Amino acid sequence: FADIGFELYPNLVNDGFTLVYNCENNSVRMDIFNLQGSIVLTDNFTDIVHITKKYRVSNFQKGVYMVRITDGSNLITRKLVIK
């Protein structure tokens, strides 16, 4: 996914991670799901072409989550591990 500029780091998280995304569309939605399929965090961005944002997840339970980015022309999902 490097060609469309999606980064999520660090992937093994204690309290927070950074999302970096270069948009092909100016409306972007980010969802974090637990493995049961429930959305635990949603964020929406409009009128932008580049996102760099830090998220605190220290209140999340330890485990595996999926981070999904949707920008109208792309749907990308990455795994996030909270330890």
pLDDT value for 81 = 96
Write down the mean pLDDT value for the chain.
89
Q: Which residue has the higher pLDDT, 34 or 24?
A: 34
- What is the average pLDDT across 55-66? 95
Helix (H) or strand (E) holding 77: strand 75-82
Q: Write the DSSP assignment of 3-46 as a string of letters.
A: GGTEEEE-SEESSEEEEEEE-SSSEEEEEEEETTS-EEEEEEEE
- What is the average pLDDT across 68-80? 89
Give residues with Cβ within 8 angstroms of 28, minimum separation 6: 21, 44, 45, 46, 48, 51, 69, 70, 71
Question: Are the CB atoms for 50 and 69 separated by under 8 Å?
Answer: no
pLDDT band at 47 (very low <50, low <70, confident <90, very high): confident
- What is the average pLDDT across 2-12? 77
pLDDT value for 57 = 93
Asked whether residue 3 carries a pLDDT value surpassing 80, the answer given is no
